[in-house]
Amino acid sequence: MPSVLLVEDDQTIRQRLTEYLTSRGFSVETSATGMDAVHLATAGNYDIIVLDLGLPDIDGTQVLKMIRSVSTVPVVVATARDDESEIVAVLGSGADDYVVKPFSGAQIEARIAAIMRRVNAGTVSGPIRIGDLTIDTQTRVAAIAESPIDLTRKEFDFLAYLAERVGVVVSKRDLLAEVWRQPYGGADKTIDVHLSVLRRKLGESASQPRYLQTVHSVGIKLVDPNS
């Protein structure tokens, strides 16, 4: 059964989410503090971590960075913070996804299931080369001019999905369904936030795009800047 480390200082939320996930077949271990979570994450073997940011001893973003320094285990951030800059910081620190409180157990389960499908899917296709950009879906490494780009798991999935459809405009609806495995929701900032971070890592901006172009009211496409 999938094993989950749930890091949440609110006892009521922790208990309810533990009961829900356990009833759905997950093995759940819990922590109420950041340092205890870091210890458990480094000592244990979890399939996924659900991490609250508002912890009593250390901010969850710092916990995430410490976990990322020693582990690639997928992390879903559960937070009451819905400010875009906060979300960007969390994703940039290595979170695979985030969900804003209040949320249901079913929402967390769906996010976990989506990430696990992506992790377990695998691929046998070779490197994709677009201009100076190379995306190897086997090794999960992306590079520009042979220099590796530091991408989170979801950033790589996002980039690879677009690269496999180079020149084709992909709608947000399709991206949410195929990359995030969740239904489209107009208030969901997931794609916009990931796009902003990914652009920065590719050395471009929304006002001066090179690889990632937004087609207003339609979607996003990856293009060869040399064509």
Summarised one tens digit per residue, pLDDT across range 54-87 is 999 999 999 999 998 888 889 999 888 877 777 7
Arch. (CATH architecture) of 128-222: Orthogonal Bundle (1.10)
CATH superfamily of 3-121: Response regulator (3.40.50.2300)
Structural domain boundaries of the chain? 3-121, 128-222
Residue 148 has a pLDDT of 95
Task: Write the pLDDT tens digit of every residue in 127-186.
Answer: 889 989 999 988 889 999 999 999 998 899 999 999 988 888 888 888 887 787 766 554
Could you tell me what percent of the chain has a pLDDT over 90? 49
User: Up-side HSE of residue 37: CA atoms within 13 Å toward CB?
Assistant: 34
Mean pLDDT of 2-14: 95
